[in-house]
């Protein structure tokens, strides 16, 4: 949404030095304050399960959600939600970064051969087929309603791509779409920022710059301990 960087070129955290993070968090806090943190928490506790029929979007409790392409299939497969009239669109972006519009965040599914596997060559052949064969990828996408991960599969005429699903294909193909760069401490790094975000939303952080630099320190200290 703002083009923020997670890491510097040397692998250290850029959260405290990239002004885009401060831009995003300042906007977010203004929105939280407008509603009132306590009001938002009370509303959140009233919402149903994200993965069931009581999803707040299905129930009309929220007008918009930030979600992945799989939500289309979940709506279609839910007997009470499949008649829902809805549309999909890319995330809004900062006014000063219009070139980011149409892009988004992407991640993938990890697949590998476990150490000590009986038939590693056969396993590798299966992995190669599941991850690079166009027909296989299209079949999986049509069944699971996930975006396929090769350009050839995305351009296949066999790919089921209604308007709501096509939004996600376009986002995936956008040159500015990004992901979290791989790191031995990826989960820790995201948790460190998430923990800080909660305290920031509550209003318990008085100095945003100092708080973000504190996130950097936690991430960088962990990196050193990990041999980075």
Q: Locate all alpha helices (DSSP H) within 3-133, ordered by sequence.
A: 19-35, 37-45, 56-59, 70-77, 120-132
What local confidence, expressed as pLDDT, does residue 66 receive?
95
Neighbours of 208 (CB within 10 A): 16
What local confidence, expressed as pLDDT, does residue 183 receive?
85
Give residues with Cβ within 8 angstroms of 13, minimum separation 6.
6, 7, 189, 215, 216, 219, 220, 223
Q: pLDDT by residue (tens digit) across 149-198?
A: 899 999 999 999 899 999 999 999 999 999 988 888 989 999 999 999 99
Mean pLDDT of 25-48: 95
Q: pLDDT by residue (tens digit) across 202-216?
A: 999 999 999 999 999
What local confidence, expressed as pLDDT, does residue 204 receive?
96
**Confidence class of residue 125 from pLDDT cuts 50, 70 and 90?**
very high
């Amino acid at each position: 949404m703002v083009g923020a960087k997670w890491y510097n070129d040397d692998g250290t955290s850029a959260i405290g030095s990239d002004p885009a993070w401060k831009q995003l968090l300042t906007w977010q806090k203004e929105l939280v304050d407008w509603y009132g943190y306590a009001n938002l928490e009370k509303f959140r506790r009233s919402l149903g399960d994200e993965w069931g029929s009581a999803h707040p979007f299905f129930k009309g409790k929220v007008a918009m959600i930030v979600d992945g392409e799989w939500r289309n299939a979940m709506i279609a497969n839910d007997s009470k939600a499949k008649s829902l009239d809805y549309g999909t669109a890319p995330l809004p972006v900062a006014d000063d970064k219009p070139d980011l519009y149409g892009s988004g965040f992407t991640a993938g599914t990890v697949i590998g051969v476990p150490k000590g596997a009986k038939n590693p060559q056969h396993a590798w052949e299966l992995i190669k087929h599941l991850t690079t064969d166009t027909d296989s990828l299209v079949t999986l996408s049509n069944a699971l309603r996930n975006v396929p991960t090769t350009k050839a599969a995305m351009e296949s005429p066999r790919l089921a791509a209604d308007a709501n699903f096509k939004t996600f294909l376009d986002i995936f193909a956008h040159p500015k779409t990004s992901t979290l760069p791989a790191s031995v401490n990826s989960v820790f790094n995201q948790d460190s920022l998430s923990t800080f975000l909660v305290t920031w939303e509550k209003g318990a952080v008085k100095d945003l710059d100092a708080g973000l630099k504190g996130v950097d320190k936690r991430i960088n200290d962990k990196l050193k301990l990990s041999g980075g």
